[in-house]
Amino acid sequence: MSLEWFDRVSSEMQDYLESICEDYDEIGHMRIDRAAKHPKIEFYVEFEEDDREVFCTLFFDPHNEEFYIEEFDLTMGETYRQILPDIEEILDAIHEVFHEFMDTEVEEIEEDEENEDLFDDEDENQVYTDGGEYDVVVDVEWTTPEVLAYSYLDEVEVTYKFGVIKETGDGILHRINRIYTEDDETIEDETNFIFSKEEAGAIIELIENNMDSMEGFDPS
C-alpha cells in the first residue's frame, strides 16, 4: 500500500481548484486527514461566526490506490462509491459539487431572508499576534491548507497550517484546537507561532531529538 498518489494530489489540489474556479478561490478551503484508515481530503467553506460547512469529502483507498467520493442513492436507499481514476475527474467532481452546494446555500439564505456575507479574503489572511501590551495584526500568505494533526472520537481535533508573513518573510504556524460539546457547539482556541528562516532548522532539530521523551495521549 502506498500514499504517494494521495500526497501528490493533496499537494496540488488547492492550486488547481483556485485556478479553474474564481468562486472557490475566494471562499474554498481544504483539510487533509492523512492518518485515517482511508486518508481523506475535506473541502469546505466558512461563513460568518466561524460557521463551517463541508461540501465534499474525497477519500483515498490505499490498498487499491484510488480516490473516491461517496454518494447516497435516495431511490435505492444505499451509499455507493464514485471512483475517480485521475486528477481531471477529481477536479471536475469537486467543482460540480461545490457549485451545487453554493446554489443550495443561496436558496436557503433567500428563503430565510438573511443575507450572510462570506468572509473577505483579505480578512482571512490577517491574524492577530502577540505584540506585548497590544495584539498586532499581520498579513499572511498561507502556503498550506489546514492539516489535521490529531483527533479523538468526535470530541477534540487539532489542526495546523503554515504561512509566510508578507511584511517580514517569517514563517507562521497557525494552530486551532477545537472541542465539540454535547450541545453541538464548537469551542475553538487559536494560537500562532512565528519564527524566522534561520530558526527553523534549530526548531526541527530540537523536536526530532526529543520525540522519544514525549508521551502520547492515552484515553484509557
**Of the residues 112, 142, 171, which one is the last residue of a structural domain?**
112
| 103 within some domain | yes
Closest-CA residue to 28 (of 44, 13, 48):
44
Q: What is the mean pLDDT of the chain?
A: 81
Check whether residue 91 and residue 177 sit in a common domain. Answer: no
Task: State pLDDT tens for residues 122-171.
Answer: 455 666 565 544 456 778 999 999 999 888 877 889 999 999 999 899 99
**Of the residues 52, 84, 112, which one is the last residue of a structural domain?**
112
- CB neighbours of 112 closer than 8 A, spacing ≥ 6? none
Check whether residue 104 and residue 140 sit in a common domain. Answer: no
Phi/psi for 137 (5° steps) reads: -95, 130
Task: Supply the range of the domain harboring residue 167.
Answer: 125-212
Q: Indicate the number of domains in the chain.
A: 2
pTM (predicted TM-score): 0.50
Say if CB 142 and CB 126 are below 8 A apart. no
Task: State pLDDT tens for residues 30-84.
Answer: 889 988 889 999 998 877 666 778 889 999 998 888 999 988 776 776 788 899 9
> Domain of 202: which CATH number?
3.10.450
Report the C-alpha gap between 30 and 125 in whole angstroms: 15
Q: How far is CA 18 from CA 53, 173, 187, 207, in A?
A: 18, 22, 29, 34
Mapped onto helix, strand or coil, the DSSP state of residue 48 is helix
Provide the pLDDT for residue 217.
Answer: 63
